[in-house]
A = this chain, B = another copy of it.
Amino acid sequence: MQHSWKDELETFRQLVKKMKAYEEALGVMYWDLRTGAPRQSVEGRSSVIGVLSGAMFKLQTSEEMGRVVQRLSEEDIWKQLDQTDRKMVEECQKEYVRSTKIPQDRYEQFVVLTSQAESVWEDAKERSDFPMFLPYLKKIITYTKEFIERWGYEGHPYNALLDQYEPGMTTDKLDEVFGQLRKRTVPLLQEIAASPHQPDTAFLSQDYGKEEQRKFSHYILEQMGYDFTAGRLDESVHPFATGLNPGDVRITTSFRPDDISFSLFSTIHEGGHALYEQNIARDLMGTVLCTGTSMGIHESQSRFWENKVGRSQPFWRRYFRELQQAFPGKFDHVQADDFYRAINIVQPSLIRIEADELTYNLHVMIRYELEKALFGGELQAAELPEAWNAKYEEYLGVKADRAAEGVLQDVHWAGGAFGYFPSYSLGNMYAAQMYETIRNDLSDFDGLLERGELIPIKDWLTERIYRFGKLLTPAEVIQHVTGEPLNPRYLADYLEAKYRAIYRID
Protein backbone atom coordinates (compact mmCIF):
# COMPACT_ATOMS: atom_id res chain seq x y z
CA MET A 1 0.00 0.00 0.00
CA GLN A 2 1.30 3.41 -0.90
CA HIS A 3 1.29 6.10 1.78
CA SER A 4 -0.59 9.31 1.09
CA TRP A 5 1.73 12.12 0.06
CA LYS A 6 0.77 14.06 3.17
CA ASP A 7 1.99 11.18 5.29
CA GLU A 8 5.18 11.12 3.26
CA LEU A 9 5.61 14.86 3.79
CA GLU A 10 5.22 14.36 7.53
CA THR A 11 7.74 11.51 7.47
CA PHE A 12 10.11 13.73 5.51
CA ARG A 13 9.78 16.61 7.98
CA GLN A 14 10.41 14.27 10.90
CA LEU A 15 13.51 12.86 9.22
CA VAL A 16 14.82 16.36 8.65
CA LYS A 17 14.06 17.38 12.20
CA LYS A 18 16.07 14.43 13.45
CA MET A 19 18.99 15.23 11.16
CA LYS A 20 18.95 18.80 12.40
CA ALA A 21 18.89 17.59 15.99
CA TYR A 22 22.05 15.54 15.40
CA GLU A 23 23.62 18.51 13.67
CA GLU A 24 22.81 20.75 16.60
CA ALA A 25 24.17 18.22 19.10
CA LEU A 26 27.38 18.02 17.06
CA GLY A 27 27.52 21.82 17.04
CA VAL A 28 27.39 21.88 20.83
CA MET A 29 30.17 19.23 20.98
CA TYR A 30 32.47 21.22 18.71
CA TRP A 31 31.77 24.47 20.50
CA ASP A 32 32.50 22.78 23.81
CA LEU A 33 35.75 21.22 22.59
CA ARG A 34 37.01 24.59 21.42
CA THR A 35 35.96 26.73 24.36
CA GLY A 36 37.32 24.97 27.39
CA ALA A 37 36.57 21.27 27.43
CA PRO A 38 39.21 19.57 29.55
CA ARG A 39 42.26 18.29 27.66
CA GLN A 40 41.53 14.65 28.45
CA SER A 41 37.96 14.86 27.16
CA VAL A 42 39.06 14.54 23.55
CA GLU A 43 39.33 10.76 23.38
CA GLY A 44 35.83 10.09 24.64
CA ARG A 45 34.34 12.98 22.75
CA SER A 46 35.69 11.88 19.35
CA SER A 47 33.84 8.62 19.63
CA VAL A 48 30.66 10.52 20.54
CA ILE A 49 31.17 12.73 17.50
CA GLY A 50 31.70 9.63 15.38
CA VAL A 51 28.44 8.08 16.56
CA LEU A 52 26.39 11.24 16.07
CA SER A 53 27.86 11.99 12.62
CA GLY A 54 27.24 8.39 11.62
CA ALA A 55 23.62 8.57 12.75
CA MET A 56 23.16 11.80 10.82
CA PHE A 57 24.75 10.44 7.65
CA LYS A 58 22.61 7.33 7.92
CA LEU A 59 19.43 9.38 8.05
CA GLN A 60 20.56 11.57 5.18
CA THR A 61 21.23 8.59 2.96
CA SER A 62 18.52 6.26 4.26
CA GLU A 63 16.24 4.42 1.90
CA GLU A 64 13.37 6.16 3.61
CA MET A 65 14.86 9.56 2.77
CA GLY A 66 15.43 8.43 -0.82
CA ARG A 67 11.84 7.25 -1.08
CA VAL A 68 10.16 10.32 0.35
CA VAL A 69 12.16 12.90 -1.60
CA GLN A 70 11.55 10.89 -4.78
CA ARG A 71 7.84 10.77 -4.10
CA LEU A 72 7.51 14.42 -3.07
CA SER A 73 9.35 15.45 -6.24
CA GLU A 74 6.70 13.89 -8.45
CA GLU A 75 5.15 16.68 -10.45
CA ASP A 76 1.57 16.39 -9.24
CA ILE A 77 2.68 16.35 -5.61
CA TRP A 78 5.43 18.94 -6.02
CA LYS A 79 3.01 21.57 -7.24
CA GLN A 80 0.95 21.19 -4.08
CA LEU A 81 3.92 21.88 -1.79
CA ASP A 82 4.64 25.32 -0.42
CA GLN A 83 7.92 27.15 -1.07
CA THR A 84 9.60 25.91 2.12
CA ASP A 85 8.78 22.25 1.54
CA ARG A 86 9.83 22.45 -2.09
CA LYS A 87 13.15 23.94 -1.22
CA MET A 88 13.62 21.39 1.56
CA VAL A 89 12.90 18.51 -0.78
CA GLU A 90 15.28 19.98 -3.35
CA GLU A 91 18.09 20.37 -0.81
CA CYS A 92 17.64 16.92 0.67
CA GLN A 93 17.39 15.27 -2.71
CA LYS A 94 20.59 16.96 -3.81
CA GLU A 95 22.33 15.85 -0.64
CA TYR A 96 20.88 12.36 -0.90
CA VAL A 97 22.02 11.90 -4.49
CA ARG A 98 25.41 13.39 -3.74
CA SER A 99 25.98 11.24 -0.67
CA THR A 100 24.71 7.98 -2.10
CA LYS A 101 27.03 8.33 -5.07
CA ILE A 102 29.97 7.71 -2.75
CA PRO A 103 30.22 4.14 -1.42
CA GLN A 104 29.99 4.26 2.35
CA ASP A 105 33.36 2.55 2.92
CA ARG A 106 35.12 5.08 0.66
CA TYR A 107 33.49 7.93 2.52
CA GLU A 108 34.43 6.52 5.90
CA GLN A 109 38.02 5.97 4.77
CA PHE A 110 38.11 9.58 3.61
CA VAL A 111 36.83 10.83 6.96
CA VAL A 112 39.51 8.84 8.78
CA LEU A 113 42.15 10.04 6.31
CA THR A 114 41.32 13.71 6.74
CA SER A 115 41.18 13.42 10.47
CA GLN A 116 44.66 11.86 10.47
CA ALA A 117 45.83 14.41 7.91
CA GLU A 118 44.72 17.29 10.11
CA SER A 119 46.89 16.10 12.93
CA VAL A 120 49.85 15.36 10.62
CA TRP A 121 49.39 18.83 9.12
CA GLU A 122 49.61 20.34 12.57
CA ASP A 123 52.97 18.67 13.20
CA ALA A 124 54.20 19.39 9.68
CA LYS A 125 53.33 23.05 10.05
CA GLU A 126 55.07 23.14 13.42
CA ARG A 127 58.23 21.77 11.78
CA SER A 128 57.65 23.57 8.49
CA ASP A 129 58.02 20.22 6.77
CA PHE A 130 55.99 19.95 3.55
CA PRO A 131 57.31 16.49 2.52
CA MET A 132 55.94 15.16 5.82
CA PHE A 133 52.44 16.30 4.83
CA LEU A 134 52.71 15.48 1.12
CA PRO A 135 51.69 11.77 1.19
CA TYR A 136 48.46 12.69 3.00
CA LEU A 137 47.77 15.57 0.67
CA LYS A 138 48.24 13.30 -2.33
CA LYS A 139 45.80 10.77 -0.98
CA ILE A 140 43.23 13.42 -0.17
CA ILE A 141 43.50 14.75 -3.71
CA THR A 142 43.14 11.23 -5.12
CA TYR A 143 39.99 10.63 -3.09
CA THR A 144 38.61 14.02 -4.03
CA LYS A 145 39.21 13.35 -7.71
CA GLU A 146 37.39 10.04 -7.36
CA PHE A 147 34.48 11.76 -5.64
CA ILE A 148 34.34 14.42 -8.36
CA GLU A 149 34.03 11.70 -11.00
CA ARG A 150 31.33 9.95 -9.02
CA TRP A 151 29.39 13.14 -8.42
CA GLY A 152 29.77 14.28 -12.03
CA TYR A 153 30.15 17.89 -13.17
CA GLU A 154 29.68 20.25 -16.05
CA GLY A 155 32.67 22.09 -17.51
CA HIS A 156 35.68 22.05 -15.18
CA PRO A 157 36.00 19.23 -12.60
CA TYR A 158 36.61 21.91 -9.95
CA ASN A 159 32.99 23.02 -10.41
CA ALA A 160 31.90 19.96 -8.48
CA LEU A 161 33.87 21.26 -5.50
CA LEU A 162 32.73 24.86 -5.78
CA ASP A 163 29.14 23.71 -5.81
CA GLN A 164 29.49 22.33 -2.27
CA TYR A 165 30.15 25.74 -0.81
CA GLU A 166 28.65 28.13 -3.34
CA PRO A 167 25.88 26.36 -5.22
CA GLY A 168 25.92 27.36 -8.89
CA MET A 169 29.40 28.86 -8.88
CA THR A 170 31.76 27.84 -11.71
CA THR A 171 35.38 28.37 -12.70
CA ASP A 172 34.24 30.40 -15.68
CA LYS A 173 32.46 32.90 -13.48
CA LEU A 174 35.28 32.96 -10.95
CA ASP A 175 37.95 33.42 -13.60
CA GLU A 176 36.03 36.40 -14.86
CA VAL A 177 35.29 38.13 -11.57
CA PHE A 178 38.67 37.36 -10.02
CA GLY A 179 40.39 38.52 -13.22
CA GLN A 180 38.61 41.84 -13.16
CA LEU A 181 39.30 42.33 -9.49
CA ARG A 182 42.99 41.49 -9.80
CA LYS A 183 43.42 43.84 -12.73
CA ARG A 184 42.34 46.69 -10.53
CA THR A 185 43.88 45.56 -7.24
CA VAL A 186 47.47 45.09 -8.33
CA PRO A 187 48.07 48.64 -9.70
CA LEU A 188 46.31 50.13 -6.65
CA LEU A 189 48.59 48.16 -4.42
CA GLN A 190 51.62 49.57 -6.20
CA GLU A 191 50.36 53.12 -5.78
CA ILE A 192 49.74 52.49 -2.09
CA ALA A 193 53.26 51.12 -1.62
CA ALA A 194 54.65 54.21 -3.28
CA SER A 195 52.58 56.65 -1.22
CA PRO A 196 54.53 58.81 1.25
CA HIS A 197 51.41 58.91 3.50
CA GLN A 198 51.74 55.67 5.41
CA PRO A 199 49.57 55.40 8.54
CA ASP A 200 51.16 55.29 11.96
CA THR A 201 50.08 52.08 13.73
CA ALA A 202 52.21 52.10 16.88
CA PHE A 203 49.21 52.71 19.18
CA LEU A 204 47.61 49.44 18.03
CA SER A 205 50.36 47.46 19.74
CA GLN A 206 50.28 48.41 23.39
CA ASP A 207 49.38 46.38 26.41
CA TYR A 208 45.60 45.80 26.62
CA GLY A 209 43.89 44.00 29.49
CA LYS A 210 41.84 40.96 28.62
CA GLU A 211 38.88 42.04 30.73
CA GLU A 212 38.81 45.47 29.06
CA GLN A 213 38.93 43.81 25.65
CA ARG A 214 36.15 41.43 26.60
CA LYS A 215 33.94 44.25 27.82
CA PHE A 216 34.52 46.26 24.67
CA SER A 217 33.76 43.26 22.45
CA HIS A 218 30.56 42.75 24.40
CA TYR A 219 29.63 46.40 24.03
CA ILE A 220 30.21 46.47 20.26
CA LEU A 221 28.15 43.31 19.80
CA GLU A 222 25.29 44.89 21.69
CA GLN A 223 25.55 47.96 19.50
CA MET A 224 25.32 45.75 16.40
CA GLY A 225 22.10 44.26 17.71
CA TYR A 226 23.56 40.85 18.60
CA ASP A 227 21.07 39.30 21.01
CA PHE A 228 22.77 37.99 24.12
CA THR A 229 19.63 36.14 25.18
CA ALA A 230 20.17 34.04 22.04
CA GLY A 231 23.93 33.79 22.15
CA ARG A 232 27.10 34.13 24.20
CA LEU A 233 30.64 35.36 23.74
CA ASP A 234 33.54 33.11 24.69
CA GLU A 235 37.22 32.79 24.00
CA SER A 236 38.96 30.28 21.73
CA VAL A 237 42.27 30.00 19.90
CA HIS A 238 40.66 30.65 16.52
CA PRO A 239 37.58 32.87 16.63
CA PHE A 240 34.40 31.38 15.20
CA ALA A 241 30.62 31.70 15.19
CA THR A 242 28.28 28.74 15.40
CA GLY A 243 24.55 28.84 14.78
CA LEU A 244 23.08 25.98 16.76
CA ASN A 245 19.59 27.32 16.14
CA PRO A 246 18.30 30.90 15.85
CA GLY A 247 17.86 30.98 19.62
CA ASP A 248 21.46 29.96 20.23
CA VAL A 249 24.14 31.50 18.04
CA ARG A 250 27.47 31.60 19.80
CA ILE A 251 30.56 33.67 19.08
CA THR A 252 34.12 33.28 20.18
CA THR A 253 36.92 35.74 19.92
CA SER A 254 40.55 35.75 20.93
CA PHE A 255 42.28 38.37 23.04
CA ARG A 256 45.86 39.25 22.19
CA PRO A 257 47.46 41.32 24.91
CA ASP A 258 49.53 43.38 22.44
CA ASP A 259 47.10 43.73 19.55
CA ILE A 260 43.86 45.57 20.03
CA SER A 261 42.71 45.02 16.44
CA PHE A 262 42.65 41.27 16.68
CA SER A 263 39.85 40.78 19.19
CA LEU A 264 38.03 43.85 17.96
CA PHE A 265 37.70 42.83 14.33
CA SER A 266 37.39 39.12 15.09
CA THR A 267 34.42 39.97 17.28
CA ILE A 268 32.77 42.20 14.68
CA HIS A 269 33.45 39.63 11.95
CA GLU A 270 31.99 36.73 13.90
CA GLY A 271 29.21 39.05 15.05
CA GLY A 272 28.28 39.51 11.38
CA HIS A 273 28.02 35.75 10.90
CA ALA A 274 25.97 35.55 14.08
CA LEU A 275 23.49 38.27 13.11
CA TYR A 276 22.72 36.26 9.98
CA GLU A 277 21.97 33.10 11.97
CA GLN A 278 20.09 34.83 14.79
CA ASN A 279 17.71 36.49 12.38
CA ILE A 280 16.62 33.56 10.26
CA ALA A 281 12.81 33.36 10.37
CA ARG A 282 11.75 31.20 13.30
CA ASP A 283 9.39 29.18 11.14
CA LEU A 284 12.43 27.69 9.40
CA MET A 285 13.67 26.27 12.71
CA GLY A 286 14.22 22.52 12.60
CA THR A 287 14.40 22.55 8.78
CA VAL A 288 17.49 22.23 6.57
CA LEU A 289 16.83 25.81 5.42
CA CYS A 290 17.62 27.21 8.85
CA THR A 291 21.16 28.28 8.03
CA GLY A 292 22.99 30.72 5.79
CA THR A 293 22.49 30.00 2.12
CA SER A 294 26.18 29.59 1.21
CA MET A 295 29.67 30.15 2.53
CA GLY A 296 30.02 33.15 0.22
CA ILE A 297 26.84 34.88 1.37
CA HIS A 298 27.70 34.08 4.98
CA GLU A 299 31.11 35.59 4.52
CA SER A 300 29.55 38.64 2.87
CA GLN A 301 27.82 39.35 6.17
CA SER A 302 30.84 38.89 8.38
CA ARG A 303 32.83 41.09 6.04
CA PHE A 304 30.11 43.66 5.64
CA TRP A 305 30.10 44.18 9.39
CA GLU A 306 33.85 43.90 9.78
CA ASN A 307 34.90 46.11 6.87
CA LYS A 308 32.01 48.26 5.69
CA VAL A 309 30.94 49.03 9.22
CA GLY A 310 33.80 48.25 11.59
CA ARG A 311 36.65 49.59 9.49
CA SER A 312 34.79 52.67 8.27
CA GLN A 313 35.53 56.29 9.09
CA PRO A 314 32.03 57.27 10.30
CA PHE A 315 31.91 54.25 12.63
CA TRP A 316 35.02 55.41 14.44
CA ARG A 317 33.83 59.01 14.54
CA ARG A 318 31.14 57.59 16.82
CA TYR A 319 32.92 54.79 18.69
CA PHE A 320 36.45 56.05 19.09
CA ARG A 321 35.60 57.95 22.25
CA GLU A 322 34.12 54.75 23.68
CA LEU A 323 37.36 52.96 22.86
CA GLN A 324 39.36 55.71 24.56
CA GLN A 325 37.22 55.34 27.68
CA ALA A 326 37.39 51.56 27.61
CA PHE A 327 41.20 51.59 27.53
CA PRO A 328 42.22 54.48 29.73
CA GLY A 329 45.53 56.07 28.81
CA LYS A 330 46.02 54.02 25.66
CA PHE A 331 44.54 56.32 23.03
CA ASP A 332 44.55 59.70 24.77
CA HIS A 333 46.70 61.38 22.15
CA VAL A 334 45.26 59.61 19.13
CA GLN A 335 42.67 61.13 16.80
CA ALA A 336 39.72 59.10 15.52
CA ASP A 337 40.85 59.56 11.94
CA ASP A 338 44.38 58.38 12.71
CA PHE A 339 42.90 55.31 14.33
CA TYR A 340 40.79 54.77 11.22
CA ARG A 341 43.86 54.99 8.99
CA ALA A 342 45.87 52.67 11.24
CA ILE A 343 43.29 49.87 11.25
CA ASN A 344 43.24 50.05 7.46
CA ILE A 345 46.94 49.81 6.81
CA VAL A 346 47.77 47.90 3.63
CA GLN A 347 50.82 45.64 3.70
CA PRO A 348 51.46 42.74 1.34
CA SER A 349 52.23 39.83 3.62
CA LEU A 350 52.56 36.08 3.73
CA ILE A 351 49.69 35.08 5.98
CA ARG A 352 46.14 35.15 4.65
CA ILE A 353 44.33 35.42 7.94
CA GLU A 354 46.37 38.47 8.91
CA ALA A 355 45.99 40.19 5.54
CA ASP A 356 44.30 43.55 5.09
CA GLU A 357 41.05 44.09 3.22
CA LEU A 358 42.80 44.87 -0.06
CA THR A 359 45.48 42.18 -0.34
CA TYR A 360 43.23 39.50 1.17
CA ASN A 361 41.63 38.74 -2.17
CA LEU A 362 45.03 38.11 -3.76
CA HIS A 363 45.74 35.43 -1.13
CA VAL A 364 42.45 33.81 -2.07
CA MET A 365 43.05 33.99 -5.81
CA ILE A 366 46.39 32.25 -5.42
CA ARG A 367 44.73 29.34 -3.62
CA TYR A 368 41.93 29.23 -6.14
CA GLU A 369 44.30 29.07 -9.08
CA LEU A 370 46.38 26.35 -7.47
CA GLU A 371 43.34 24.25 -6.59
CA LYS A 372 41.91 24.64 -10.06
CA ALA A 373 45.21 23.53 -11.58
CA LEU A 374 45.40 20.52 -9.21
CA PHE A 375 41.97 19.27 -10.23
CA GLY A 376 42.38 20.29 -13.85
CA GLY A 377 45.43 18.03 -13.95
CA GLU A 378 47.98 20.78 -14.72
CA LEU A 379 49.64 20.69 -11.32
CA GLN A 380 50.89 17.90 -9.05
CA ALA A 381 50.72 18.06 -5.27
CA ALA A 382 54.53 17.82 -5.05
CA GLU A 383 54.85 20.97 -7.14
CA LEU A 384 52.70 23.04 -4.80
CA PRO A 385 55.44 24.77 -2.78
CA GLU A 386 57.16 26.07 -5.85
CA ALA A 387 53.93 27.14 -7.53
CA TRP A 388 52.80 28.76 -4.29
CA ASN A 389 55.94 30.81 -3.94
CA ALA A 390 55.90 31.88 -7.59
CA LYS A 391 52.33 33.20 -7.25
CA TYR A 392 53.07 35.04 -4.02
CA GLU A 393 56.05 36.65 -5.67
CA GLU A 394 53.96 37.63 -8.68
CA TYR A 395 50.80 38.90 -6.95
CA LEU A 396 52.10 40.19 -3.66
CA GLY A 397 55.83 40.56 -4.11
CA VAL A 398 56.61 38.50 -1.01
CA LYS A 399 58.29 35.14 -0.55
CA ALA A 400 57.94 32.65 2.30
CA ASP A 401 61.21 31.33 3.65
CA ARG A 402 59.40 28.55 5.45
CA ALA A 403 56.60 26.26 4.28
CA ALA A 404 54.82 27.01 7.55
CA GLU A 405 54.31 30.56 6.33
CA GLY A 406 53.69 29.41 2.78
CA VAL A 407 51.92 26.37 1.46
CA LEU A 408 51.36 24.83 4.90
CA GLN A 409 49.67 27.83 6.48
CA ASP A 410 46.01 26.80 6.08
CA VAL A 411 44.23 23.76 7.51
CA HIS A 412 41.69 23.58 4.65
CA TRP A 413 43.50 21.08 2.41
CA ALA A 414 44.20 18.72 5.31
CA GLY A 415 40.46 18.64 5.92
CA GLY A 416 39.74 18.02 2.25
CA ALA A 417 37.99 21.40 1.91
CA PHE A 418 39.00 22.11 -1.67
CA GLY A 419 36.71 24.69 -3.25
CA TYR A 420 36.17 26.59 -0.02
CA PHE A 421 38.69 29.44 -0.41
CA PRO A 422 36.85 31.36 -3.15
CA SER A 423 33.96 31.91 -0.69
CA TYR A 424 36.07 34.42 1.21
CA SER A 425 36.50 36.71 -1.79
CA LEU A 426 33.01 36.09 -3.04
CA GLY A 427 31.98 37.36 0.38
CA ASN A 428 33.97 40.53 -0.16
CA MET A 429 32.42 41.06 -3.58
CA TYR A 430 28.87 40.38 -2.43
CA ALA A 431 29.41 42.67 0.54
CA ALA A 432 30.61 45.57 -1.59
CA GLN A 433 27.72 45.16 -3.98
CA MET A 434 25.23 45.12 -1.09
CA TYR A 435 27.00 48.09 0.44
CA GLU A 436 26.32 50.09 -2.72
CA THR A 437 22.62 49.17 -2.50
CA ILE A 438 22.20 49.90 1.18
CA ARG A 439 23.86 53.31 0.76
CA ASN A 440 21.32 54.16 -1.92
CA ASP A 441 18.46 52.71 0.08
CA LEU A 442 19.14 54.17 3.50
CA SER A 443 19.69 57.73 2.42
CA ASP A 444 22.17 58.61 5.16
CA PHE A 445 24.15 55.43 5.80
CA ASP A 446 27.26 57.24 7.04
CA GLY A 447 25.07 59.35 9.29
CA LEU A 448 23.68 56.18 10.89
CA LEU A 449 27.19 54.98 11.62
CA GLU A 450 28.22 58.38 12.93
CA ARG A 451 25.25 58.36 15.30
CA GLY A 452 25.81 54.74 16.30
CA GLU A 453 22.45 53.72 14.87
CA LEU A 454 23.37 50.25 13.75
CA ILE A 455 20.00 48.61 14.30
CA PRO A 456 18.40 49.99 11.11
CA ILE A 457 21.33 48.43 9.24
CA LYS A 458 20.78 45.08 10.91
CA ASP A 459 17.06 45.35 10.18
CA TRP A 460 17.69 46.15 6.51
CA LEU A 461 19.90 43.08 6.16
CA THR A 462 17.43 40.92 8.06
CA GLU A 463 14.55 41.98 5.84
CA ARG A 464 16.48 41.26 2.62
CA ILE A 465 18.86 38.44 3.52
CA TYR A 466 18.90 36.97 7.00
CA ARG A 467 15.28 35.93 7.40
CA PHE A 468 15.32 33.81 4.25
CA GLY A 469 17.98 31.39 5.50
CA LYS A 470 18.51 28.91 2.70
CA LEU A 471 15.18 29.60 0.98
CA LEU A 472 17.01 31.57 -1.71
CA THR A 473 20.15 30.50 -3.57
CA PRO A 474 23.24 32.73 -3.37
CA ALA A 475 22.57 33.95 -6.92
CA GLU A 476 18.96 34.74 -5.97
CA VAL A 477 20.08 36.59 -2.87
CA ILE A 478 22.47 38.91 -4.67
CA GLN A 479 19.97 39.51 -7.49
CA HIS A 480 17.12 40.07 -5.05
CA VAL A 481 19.11 42.43 -2.82
CA THR A 482 20.99 44.46 -5.41
CA GLY A 483 18.96 44.00 -8.59
CA GLU A 484 21.84 42.50 -10.55
CA PRO A 485 24.08 39.40 -10.53
CA LEU A 486 27.48 39.30 -8.87
CA ASN A 487 29.59 42.14 -10.21
CA PRO A 488 33.16 42.60 -9.00
CA ARG A 489 33.17 46.26 -10.06
CA TYR A 490 31.60 47.30 -6.75
CA LEU A 491 34.39 45.86 -4.68
CA ALA A 492 37.06 47.32 -6.94
CA ASP A 493 35.39 50.77 -6.87
CA TYR A 494 34.97 50.67 -3.12
CA LEU A 495 38.56 49.61 -2.48
CA GLU A 496 39.90 52.22 -4.83
CA ALA A 497 37.93 55.06 -3.30
CA LYS A 498 38.66 54.01 0.25
CA TYR A 499 42.37 53.41 -0.08
CA ARG A 500 43.07 56.34 -2.37
CA ALA A 501 41.66 58.54 0.36
CA ILE A 502 43.57 56.84 3.15
CA TYR A 503 46.86 56.95 1.26
CA ARG A 504 46.12 60.35 -0.26
CA ILE A 505 46.62 59.22 -3.84
CA ASP A 506 45.21 61.60 -6.44
A-side residues, CB < 8 A to B, are: 17-18, 21-22, 24-25, 28-29, 32, 36-45, 47-48, 50-52, 55, 227-232, 244-248, 250, 285-286
- Complex interface: chain B residues within 8 A of A228 (CB): 38
Given known contacts A231-B38, A247-B41, A248-B38, A48 and B21 CB-to-CB distance under 8 angstroms: yes
Q: Are A41 and B286 in contact (CB under 8 A)?
A: no
Question: Quick one: given A37-B248, A45-B248, A247-B38, are A25 and B18 in contact (CB under 8 Å)?
Answer: no
How far is it, in angstroms, between the C-alpha of A18 and the C-alpha of B41 when the chains are bound? 17
Min CB gap A357→B, angstroms: 31
Q: Which residue of B lies closest to A232 (CB)?
A: B38
Residue numbers in B under 8 Å from A18 (CB-CB): 51
Oligomeric state, in copies: 2
Decide if A24 touches B36 in the complex (CB within 8 Å).
no
How far does the alpha carbon of A114 sit from the alpha carbon of B28 in the complex, in Å? 25
- The complex places the Cα of A299 from the Cα of B246 at a distance, in Å, of 39
In the complex, residue of chain B having the shortest beta-carbon distance to the beta carbon of A42:
B247
Q: Which of A18, A40, A286 has the most CB atoms of chain B within a 10 A radius of its CB? A: A40
Chain B residues positioned under 8 Å from A42 (CB to CB)? 247
Contact B232 A44 (CB under 8 A): no
CA distance A245 to B25 in the complex (A): 17
A-B contact pairs, 8 of them (CB 8 A): A17-B47, A21-B51, A22-B51, A25-B51, A25-B52, A36-B232, A41-B247, A44-B245
CB pair A25 B24 closer than 8 Å: no
B21–A29 CB distance below 8 A: no
Q: Which 6 residue pairs of A and B lie closest in terms of their CB atoms, listed nearest first?
A: A40-B247, A44-B245, A41-B248, A21-B51, A40-B230, A21-B48
Closest residue of chain B to A47, judged by CB? B21
> Hey, which chain B residues are within 8 Å of A29, CB to CB?
25, 28
